């Protein structure tokens, strides 16, 4: 039997299976933030055509958050809406309206439906705050997931709440004080616009200078004494 002349150093070793690397959620978070900052810097260097794609990422994040919430709500985790809302920093109703079933998105807030005509100013204030688009305005309502049409920044819920809260704002000053300065100013903006328009209509028109011709050939009134 001939001697084995194959040199072990030249013979490839069988590839061993690499152990799976566990990546912590915090590392994912840091990685995504770095990517977003790099994307923003790239757009800022003059790529104006990519601006629309950059802003569209907010809708992608919203959709992925909805998937994450659905997973947390399902088995084996079965987190309650209260637990999810606590992590999101919103009310239970707002979390359920935004990340619940698609049929709920854009529907009137359940707090309004449950209270009916007996709704309190405090409830109106809380609902208005939960569904406020924020500054800068989001592309979808943070309270119910309603996608704002062009030039519209009120979801169906706040379109209902806004006039009610404006009309009843004097009934509970303490509740109204819970609005942030931005929300408070936005609530009164519509009312201020109406007042401004009414004042403009009531303002007398400035007198217009009239020319009177003194002769047949003086049509511009230049010969007036």
- Of 107, 75, 72, 108, nearest to 88 by C-alpha is 72
pLDDT at position 55 over 90: no
What are 56-97's pLDDT values in tens digits? 888 788 878 888 998 998 889 999 989 999 999 888 888 888
Find how far residue 36's CA is from the centre of its chain.
18
Helix, strand and coil in the chain, % to nearest 5: 55, 0, 45
Q: What is the pLDDT of residue 1?
A: 54
Tell me the C-alpha distance between 136 and 217, whole Å.
62
Residue 40's pLDDT band (boundaries 50, 70, 90)? very high
Mean pLDDT of all residues belonging to the chain: 80
Domain boundaries, the chain: 101-201
- Of 95, 103, 166, 162, nearest to 132 by C-alpha is 162
What are 1-29's pLDDT values in tens digits? 566 665 666 666 666 666 666 778 889 89
pLDDT at position 38 over 90: yes
- Of 138, 188, 180, nearest to 163 by C-alpha is 188
The answer to whether the predicted template modeling score (pTM) of the entire model surpasses 0.85 is no
């Amino acid at each position: 039997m001939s001697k084995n002349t194959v040199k072990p150093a030249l013979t490839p070793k069988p590839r061993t299976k690499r152990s799976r690397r566990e990546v912590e959620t915090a590392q994912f978070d840091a990685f995504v933030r770095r990517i977003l900052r790099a994307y923003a810097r790239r757009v800022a260097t003059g790529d104006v055509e990519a601006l629309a794609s950059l802003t569209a990422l907010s809708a992608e994040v919203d959709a992925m958050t909805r998937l994450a919430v659905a997973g947390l709500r399902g088995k084996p985790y079965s987190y309650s809406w209260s637990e999810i809302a606590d992590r999101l920093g919103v009310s239970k109703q707002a979390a359920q309206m935004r990340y619940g079933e698609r049929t709920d998105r854009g529907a009137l807030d359940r707090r309004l439906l449950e209270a009916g005509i007996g709704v309190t100013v405090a409830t109106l204030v809380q609902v208005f705050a939960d569904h406020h688009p924020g500054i800068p305005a989001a592309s979808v309502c943070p309270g119910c997931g309603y996608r704002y049409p062009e030039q519209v920044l009120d979801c169906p819920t706040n379109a209902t709440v806004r006039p009610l809260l404006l009309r009843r704002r004097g009934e509970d000053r303490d509740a109204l004080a819970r609005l942030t300065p931005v929300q408070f100013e936005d609530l009164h903006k519509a009312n201020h616009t109406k007042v401004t328009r009414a004042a403009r209509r009531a303002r007398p028109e400035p007198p217009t200078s009239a020319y009177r011709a003194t002769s047949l050939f003086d049509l511009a009134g230049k010969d007036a004494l």
